[in-house]
Amino acid sequence: MTDEKQTEPIMDGATEATNDEKLSGLIEQVEHDHGDEGAGAMADHLRDRMDETRTEPENGGDTED
């Protein structure tokens, strides 16, 4: 694996995508690229990609008391 960061090409519509659409795309990309590394590694890569793309995490769900 390389340490180079992918900055191009940008998918058509990416700049107009909602935060949820961007997050969904990042999850798909990270799973494809790092799925064999386990959930912990995938979570680390996803957090890194979210920081790089300024994507916000989704809102937490309702919790039961």
**Structural domain spans, the chain:** 18-52
Contact of 31 with 42, CB cutoff 8 Å: yes
pLDDT at 65 over 80: no
- What's this model's pTM, rounded to 2 decimal places? 0.64
Q: Where residue 17 falls among pLDDT bands split at 50, 70, 90?
A: confident
Contact of 33 with 5, CB cutoff 8 Å: no
Quote the distance between the C-alpha of residue 14 and its chain's center: 13
